[in-house]
Structure 1
Amino acid sequence: MFGIGRNGAKKHLSSMVNGIRFHLFCSKADELVVHFMVNSLGFSTKEAISTSAKVTRSRLRNYEPLLLLDLFHKIGLNKSQIKTLVSSSPKLLFCDIDTTLKPKIKGLQPLNLSGSDLVTLIEKSDFLRRGLHTSIKPTLDYLRELLGTHDAVAMVLKKEPRLISQNISKVLPPNIALLQNLGFSQIDIANFFQRYPRCLLRNPVCLQRVVHQAEEIFDIPRGSRMFLHGIAALVPLHESTLERKIDIYRSFGWSHSDICTMVRKLPSCFDFIRG
C-alpha cells in the first residue's frame, strides 16, 4: 500500500484548500486574472484572490497582462518587483497600457531610474493616479529647473518619491522665497532641498517658526554653514517635543548655553534622545 507521507499530505491538503477557496471566491475575483497572478507573478491563490478583488471588474476591458509584463520587463523589472507593484496597486492589471501607463513610464526615462527605484517611486506615491501633462511632467520640469540636472532630480525622488505626486510648483515657492530673503543663494537652496527634500514641503508658517527657533533659541547665525542643517533638524520636531528633548539635556546638568553650543556644532543631536 502506497502513502504520500506527512509532508506530502500537507501539501496535497493545502492544494485542495486553495482550490476550494478559489472556487468559493471566483465570483469576486475573475478566474482569468487569478490564474495569471498565480502562474506568472508567483502569487499564492489566496493572495491573488485577495489582491484581484480590490479592483472593479468593470476595468476588465483593459486587461492586457502580457503587454504589462512586456513593458515592465523592458524597463528592467523582475518577477518579484512586478508582483510587489501589483500587490500595492492591483489596478495596474487593468490600466490602459498604451495610452496611460507607457507614456507615464516614458516620461521618467530621462531620470535613468533603476528597476528597484521605479518600484519604490510607483509604490510610495500616487503616480498612477496623476495625469502625465497636468501633474507628472510639470513636476519633473519644475524639479529639473530647480536642481539643474536629471541626475539631481532622480536623487531627490529616490529620497522622497511622494514629490512626484505633489503640486510642488505651488508648495515650494513660498519656502524658497523665505530662504532667499534670509540671504541664501539658489545653489544653497537647491543643495538643501536635494539633501532634505521634506523640509521645503512644509507649510511656510511652520518653516518660519523653525527659522525663528534656530536664530532666537539656539543662536545659530544665518551665515553659519550649520544654519540650514539646524533647520533640517528642527523641522520634524513639534514645539512640545523639542521642549521635552531640551529638558532631557537640562536634566544632565547642561545650561542653556551648553545646549546651544551643542546644537550649533551638531544640529542632529536631538535625534540621539527620545522625547
Structure 2
Amino acid sequence: MTLLRVEECRGEQPFASHASSRRPKTLQRQIAEALRTATQASVLFPWNLRLYSLFQIGLSESHIQSIISRRPQLLFSRVDKTLKPKIEYFQLLGFHGPELGELLSKNGILLSCSLNKTLVPSVKCVRQIVNNEKDLIKVLQRYAEWIIPRQQRVLDNAAFFKSCGIVGSQLSFLMTKNARLFAMRESLVRNYVSRTVNLGFSVNSRMLVHGLRTISSMSIVKFNRKLEIIQSCGFSRDEAMQMFRRTPGYLADLRRG
C-alpha cells in the first residue's frame, strides 16, 4: 500500500514544526496502518478516526491520500460536527462511492469551508444558474474549487452576463462549459466580452455565448495560431474569421495535425 507523503503537504502540518526529521515517516506509517485496519476503529489513534470516517463511506485509499495531502488539517477536524455533515450534504446532492471520492479528492476545499456559510449558499447559487441536477453535479465535479469560495463573484458575473443577453439555457451552457469564467475578476470577464464583441459577435445575439466560450478558453496568441491553421488550408484571414463567427466552437476544438 502506498504511504501518504505527508511531509510534502502544504499548509498546516500534523505535528509541531520542532518535531524531529524522522517524525513525518512515523506519521506515514500510522496513516497507512489506519487505512489497513479501518474496520478496527476502536484501536485507531484519535486523529486517525478522521481517516476511518472517510474510509467507511467508501472512499478509496488514493482518494483519502489526495484529500489529506491537500488538506492535512482535516486530521484534526471533528468528525460529527465538521466532516460528517458535509459528507452527508454531498450524498444528498447525489454523490456516492467513487463519485463522491473524486469530488472530495479533487476539491479539497469542500471539507474545509463552512457548510452553512459557504457550501450551501454557493451550491444554491449554482443551482439557480444551471438547468438541472445533472448539470449541477457536472459543474461541482469540474469546478467546485473555483466557484464554491467565490459565491458573490459568481452572482455578480452571472448578472453581467444576463445584461449582455446571455440568459436561461445559454447561461447554463456557459456555466457547464467554463464555470471558471464566473469566478474570475469582473475586469477580466468584461475584457473577454469586449474582445468577443470586437470580433463580430453582437450583444444580445444567440452566438455571443459561443464566441465568449471560445475566446475565454485561450490566449490571444493561441487564437491567432488557430486562425493560421485554417489559413494554411488555403483560406484568407477574412474567410477564417467568417468561419469562426459562424461556428466559434470549431476553433476551440481545433488541434494541429
2:113 maps to 130
What is the SS of the residue equivalent to 1:178? helix
* Worse-superposed segment, 240-249 or 135-144: 240-249
CA change 1:90–1:212 in 2 (3 A) is closer
- TM-score (normalizing by structure 2): 0.72
2:143 maps to 160
Q: Which amino acid aligns with 1:220?
A: F
Q: Which amino acid aligns with 1:38?
A: A
- Alpha-carbon distance, 1:195 to partner: 2.9
1:39 maps to 33
- Asked whether the equivalents of residues 127 and 164 of structure 1 are also in contact (C-alpha less than 8 Å), the reply is no
- Alpha-carbon distance, 1:156 to partner: 0.8
- Alpha-carbon distance, 1:74 to partner: 4.3
Q: Which amino acid aligns with 1:101?
A: L
- Asked whether the equivalents of residues 147 and 154 of structure 2 are also in contact (C-alpha less than 8 Å), the reply is no
* 1:82 pairs with one of 52, 61, 64: 64
Counting only pairs closer than 5 Å after superposition, residues 1-16 of structure 1 correspond to structure 2 as none
Question: C-alpha separation between the residues in 2 aligned to 1:34 and 1:201?
Answer: 36
Question: C-alpha separation between the residues in 2 aligned to 1:99 and 1:182?
Answer: 43
Counting only pairs closer than 5 Å after superposition, residues 105-124 of structure 1 correspond to structure 2 as 105-124=87-106
Q: Which amino acid aligns with 1:212?
A: S
* 1:96 pairs with one of 43, 65, 78: 78
2:183 maps to 201
Q: Which runs of 4+ in 1 moved over 4 A?
A: 221-225, 247-253
Q: Which amino acid aligns with 2:184?
A: R
- Alpha-carbon distance, 1:223 to partner: 6.0
2:130 maps to 147
CA change 1:82–1:209 in 2 (3 A) is closer
Question: C-alpha separation between the residues in 1 aligned to 2:146 and 2:252?
Answer: 26
Q: Which amino acid aligns with 1:254?
A: F
User: What's the RMSD between the two structures over aligned residues?
Assistant: 3.1
Question: C-alpha separation between the residues in 2 aligned to 1:153 and 1:79?
Answer: 26
- Alpha-carbon distance, 1:233 to partner: 0.8
Larger Rg: 1
Higher helix share: 1
Q: Which amino acid aligns with 2:30?
A: F
- Percent identity between matched residues is 24
- TM-score (normalizing by structure 1): 0.68
